[in-house]
Structure 1
Amino acid sequence: MAPEKLRKIIWIVAAALLAALVFYSLFTMDMLGNVFTVMSIGFIAGVPFCIGAFTIFLCDVKLIAKRRFVIWMSIAPILAFFLLTLALAMEGWACWLMILPFFLALSVAGGLVMARIRLKNLKDRMYMSFFALLPFAVAPVEQAIASIPGRYTADTAIEIKADKAVIWSMVTRVKKIEAAEDKGWFTRMLGFPRPLEAELDYEGTGAFRKAVFDKGLVFDEKVTAYQHQRFMQFTIRANPYDIPSTTMDEHIVVGGKYFDVLDGTYELQPLANNTYRLHLYSHYKLSTSFNFYSSWWAGWIMKDIQNNILQVIKSRAEQAATVKQ
C-alpha cells in the first residue's frame, strides 16, 4: 500500500476513534443523569453502527467498492476504541469482552450500509447526519420505556461416587479452595473473583452461610429450606457497596443496578452403586434493555462458577472415599 494511502487510512481511523470517544463521553456524563448510559441499546447498537458508517463516509469511493476493505475499515476504529479504553482503565475487560461481538457486528453493518449509499450516489451527508443523531434519539425513548427485569435459572449437576454423608459435609461447608483446584477457566479469563470457602453456622432452616471469594467479594446467604443430606435452599445477598471498586466492572457487579443473584439450591439425588448426582441451581436477575443478549453471557458465567464448585466437591469427596477404603 502506498505511503500516502496508508496515511489517509490512519487519519480516517483516528477520526472515527475520536468520534467514538465523543459518543462515550456524552453517554457517561453524570450531568445527563440516566437518560444516556452505555448500558443501553442506544449506545451498544447505535454508536458502533454510526462509527462504521462514519468511517466509510470518510473513505475514497473507489476503495469502498471492495467489501473486504469496507469490513476491515469498519472494525478498525472499534478495535482501537476498545484497546484505548482498556489501556486507560475507562472500562473493565470483562464488560468490553461481552459487548465486543455486538459492537463489531453493528459497525460492519453500518459500514456496509454507508458503502451502498455512497455507491448508489444517494445523499450520504443526510444519511450520515441521521445515523449520528440516532443513538441520542433512541436513548431517551429506551429510558422512558424502562428495562424489564428478567429472572433466569442456571442449572448444573455432577455425579459423585462417595458416601452421601461425606458429600453433604462438603456441600454445607467448603474448606479453602486452593488455586490448583480452581477449574473455572471462563470466569478466571474474565477476571471474576474466584471462590475461596463457604461457612455455615449450623445445619437447618434459618442458618447463616457465608460464601467468600477473593478480591474482597462476600455473599451473605440465609438457609430458607433444609432437608439433611438431601436439600438446601438459601437466599444470596451481595452488597455492592461492600465490594471494592477494583473487584468487578460496575456494569456487571453482583447486587448492582444490572445484575443480581437471588438464591441457590443444592439437591443430592441418589443413583446406584453408592453414586449420587449433586444438583446446584440458582436464580439471578438481569435489568437491562438487552436481556436477550446479556442473558447468554450471564448464564455462561453462572454455570462456570457452579460447575467449578461442583467439581471441587466431587474431587474432594471421591478422594476422601478412596482414602477411607
Structure 2
Amino acid sequence: MRVNRRHILVIASIVALYALITWLLFSQSLGGWLQTVSAAFIYTLPCSVGALVCFLGYKLDRPSGFWAYAAPALTMFALVIASLLFNMEAIICAVVAAPILMIMAFIGGVIMSLILKRTESGRLSITFLVLLPYAVSPIEQMWQAPHETRVMQNAVTIKASPAVIWNQIYQVPAIRKEELPAQWIYLIGFPRPIAATIDKQGIGGRRHATFERDVSFFEVVTVWEPQHRLSFTIKADPEFIPHTAFDRHIIVGGRFYDVLDGTYEIEPRSDGTCILHLSSTHRLSTRFNRYAGWWSEWVMNQIQGSILEVIRQRCEHIQS
C-alpha cells in the first residue's frame, strides 16, 4: 500500500513542531516542573509522539500497519537525528536515548491504533496523550529521584613485576592519543584521558587526573600499599568542568551522575605475571537508573579498559 508523500510531509511537520515546542519547554526546566532527564520526557513524550503520528496518519491518509507500527518509531529516529544536526543534543545522549525513545514511540502508535479501532474520532484520546507529558512531569518532580551506587570492575593480565606496575599507576605520565585503543566512547564525544599526577606519595597524597577539553578530577589517596593497592576518593566539581566537555545531562559530579572513588589492586601470579584490577564507585540519580546504569557500565568499562590497556603496554615495554 503506497503512502502519499504529501501526507508524510504534513504529518512530519506537525509532529516535529510538537516535539520541538515540548523540547524547548522541558529544556528550560520551567519552574523545575518540566525536566528533560525525567520519566515524562524519556518515556511519556515519545509515546505521545508515536500516538500523534498514528492518529494523523489514520486521519490524513488511511488506517494501515505502516502508520500504526512503522511510522512512529521511524519518526522518533528522525527526530533524534535532527536533534544532532541542529546541535540540540550531544551524540552520547542521542545514542543512549534512541533505543528507549523508539520503543516508546512504537508503543504509542500501537496504543493509538487500538483506540482508533474502538472509537470513531479519537480526538479526546489524542488530546489527552499529547498533553500527558506536561501532566506527568510536575507529578514526577514531587518525589526525589532515587540514588543508586554501582561498582565497575575491570582487570588485565600484565607480564611485569608488581614494582613496575606500581610505578605506572600511582601516577600516569602523559598518554599519547595513539596509545589508547579504539573505543566507541571516544568516537561519540567522551574526553580521552591525558595524565595523572600526584603531589606526594602516601595517604593524603593528591592526585590530579586530567582529560581532554580541560576536564580535571581531584583525587585524595586513602589507601597506599606499594606494589599492592592504591585507593583514592574522586571529586569532580561541575563548576570547573567546561560545559563543552560533557553533555549537560551527564556532567560528572552533577545532579544525575558522579564518580565517587577508585581503586587499583595488583594481584601477583605464580607464572610471573600480575593481574591489575581497577574498580570505581559511581552514583546514579535518575528515575530510570536501571536503564541508565546499563549504559554507564558500558561507558566506564570502555574507559577503565582503555586505561588498563595503556598501563599494560607500558609495563610490558619496560619489563622487556
Q: 1:184: Cα distance to partner? A: 5.1
Name the SS of the counterpart of 1:229 in structure 2.
coil
The separation in 2 between residues aligned to 1:90 and 1:143, in whole angstroms, is: 23
2:163 aligns with: 165
The match for 2:181 among 183, 195, 198 is 183
Mapping for residues 77-226 of structure 1, pairs under 5 Å: 77-121=75-119, 124-183=122-181, 185-226=183-224
Q: State whether residues 220 and 236 of structure 1, in contact with CA within 8 Å, keep that contact through their aligned partners in structure 2.
A: yes
Say if 1:184 and 1:221 are closer, same or farther in 2 by CA, change over 3 A. Answer: farther
2:69 aligns with: 71
The separation in 1 between residues aligned to 2:267 and 2:63, in whole angstroms, is: 61
Name the SS of the counterpart of 1:64 in structure 2.
coil
The match for 1:293 among 291, 294, 300 is 291
TM-score, reference length from structure 1: 0.94
Name the SS of the counterpart of 2:32 in structure 1.
coil
What one-letter code is carried by the residue in structure 2 that aligns with 1:257?
R
Q: 1:123: Cα distance to partner? A: 5.1
Q: Is there any run of 5+ residues in structure 1 with no aligned partner, and where?
A: none
Q: 1:164: Cα distance to partner? A: 1.2
Q: How many pairs were matched up?
A: 319
Q: 1:179: Cα distance to partner? A: 1.1
Q: Is there any run of 5+ residues in structure 2 with no aligned partner, and where?
A: none
The match for 1:50 among 48, 51, 54 is 48
Q: 1:178: Cα distance to partner? A: 1.0
Q: State whether residues 155 and 282 of structure 1, in contact with CA within 8 Å, keep that contact through their aligned partners in structure 2.
A: yes
The separation in 1 between residues aligned to 2:182 and 2:305, in whole angstroms, is: 8
Q: 1:74: Cα distance to partner? A: 0.6
What one-letter code is carried by the residue in structure 2 that aligns with 1:18?
L
Q: 1:272: Cα distance to partner? A: 1.5
Say if 1:133 and 1:172 are closer, same or farther in 2 by CA, change over 3 A. Answer: same
Q: State whether residues 16 and 54 of structure 1, in contact with CA within 8 Å, keep that contact through their aligned partners in structure 2.
A: yes
Q: State whether residues 17 and 78 of structure 1, in contact with CA within 8 Å, keep that contact through their aligned partners in structure 2.
A: no
Q: 1:71: Cα distance to partner? A: 2.7
Name the SS of the counterpart of 2:4 in structure 1.
helix
Q: 1:203: Cα distance to partner? A: 2.2
Identity of counterpart residues, as a percentage? 35
Name the SS of the counterpart of 2:141 in structure 1.
helix
> Cα deviations across residues 94-125 of structure 1 (Å, max 9, x unaligned)?
11210111100000110111112213335511
CA-atom RMSD in angstroms: 1.7
Q: State whether residues 65 and 119 of structure 1, in contact with CA within 8 Å, keep that contact through their aligned partners in structure 2.
A: no
What one-letter code is carried by the residue in structure 1 that aligns with 2:5?
L
Q: 1:313: Cα distance to partner? A: 0.6
The separation in 2 between residues aligned to 1:93 and 1:71, in whole angstroms, is: 26
The separation in 1 between residues aligned to 2:182 and 2:236, in whole angstroms, is: 20
Q: 1:86: Cα distance to partner? A: 1.7
Q: State whether residues 58 and 67 of structure 2, in contact with CA within 8 Å, keep that contact through their aligned partners in structure 1.
A: no
The separation in 2 between residues aligned to 1:259 and 1:184, in whole angstroms, is: 25
1:24 aligns with: 23
The separation in 1 between residues aligned to 2:80 and 2:129, in whole angstroms, is: 21
The separation in 2 between residues aligned to 1:296 and 1:14, in whole angstroms, is: 34
TM-score, reference length from structure 2: 0.95
